[in-house]
Amino acid sequence: MRRPEPTRKNLLIAGGGLCAVLLLVITAFSCTRTEPELGPAAFVPTTTTLAPTSTAPTTAAPDTTAAPSGPETTTEPPPSTEAEVAPAGLQPLPARTSEVATAREGVDEVALHDDATGPSTGALDATGDYGQRQVFLVVGREGDRLHVLLPTRPNGSKAWIDADDVDVTTHDYQIQVSISGFELMAQKGTEVVVDTPIGVGTQDTPTVGGEFYTWVLLDPTNAGYGSYAYGLSGFSTLEQFAGGDGRMGVHGTEDASSIGRNVSHGCIRVPDDVVVRMVEEVGLPLGVPVTVYA
């Protein structure tokens, strides 16, 4: 799996006097320190090597779901906090193999289609918000097109993309999250490689349930995010936060008191030593399915 190479996003402050500049700086610092969640100004490129993935076979089982009759990117309901309820204590799932589509170098836009044969009805920039190549989780295949989960609003949006626009690899990782149980479990095949307590969203800014995937890996510059942050394909109930678009994430924290509690704006917090292990030892790649239960 190609590791993301986001670019640093600088905050430029223009002011008429030293006092005004200092006031703006102090205000920005206070906001990011109080409730650090995913925002584009808080990250720099990661240079960590992720787990290797295998090139997907040239043929795959056909998509067994019916082709949508209309644009899935516009007919999905708004983000919902409703999700399947996790069992008491997460249990390992059967092994699964996932296909991940990454926008090819030289491709500027990935065309989106409503079905496996129709014309393009839109496009997504092949470069993500942090400078990384766009990543999609493949949920089906028919002919020369792939049915993929999109990293866009509303949560759960899907579209068909042309196989020629992407490189497809496979892996056998998966993640489960229990909001009410304050637990995250990651597997490789049937082996549990991470099982950790977590902090989740508050009642007013809840962690959203559903099916997502790891979309980008970042090195935070704000200590409140811990050593690493995985941005997910889904979004919180907030339209924007800390200069970003309210995207959910799994990130580290050195605040042990926030674990096992409802403390965030929707992100999933794990102890910092755990997120370091997830990245540097386990090597969780991008395109890992993340199922978030209520």
Instruction: Write down the catalytic residue from 113, 147, 265, 267.
Output: 267
- Token reading at 270: 């794990």
Rg (CA), the chain: 19
| DSSP E strands, 63-172 | 98-103, 109-113, 120-125, 135-142, 145-149, 158-162, 166-171
Q: Which residues of 115-151 are buried (b: 16+ CB within 10 A; e: fewer)?
A: bbeeeebeebebbbbbebbbbbbbbbbbeebbbbbbb
| Of 77, 65, 72, nearest in space to 122 by CA | 72
- Taking the CA atoms of residue 27, residue 220, residue 12 and residue 126 in that order, the dihedral angle to the nearest 10 degrees is -130
The helix (run of H) or strand (run of E) holding residue 28 is helix 18-34
CA distance 52 to 55: 10
The CA distances from residue 270 to 17, 184, 252, in Å, are 41, 8, 5
267 is catalytic: yes
Residue bearing tokens 């949508």: 68
Instruction: Write down the catalytic residue from 113, 147, 171, 251.
Output: 251
Catalytic residues: 251, 267
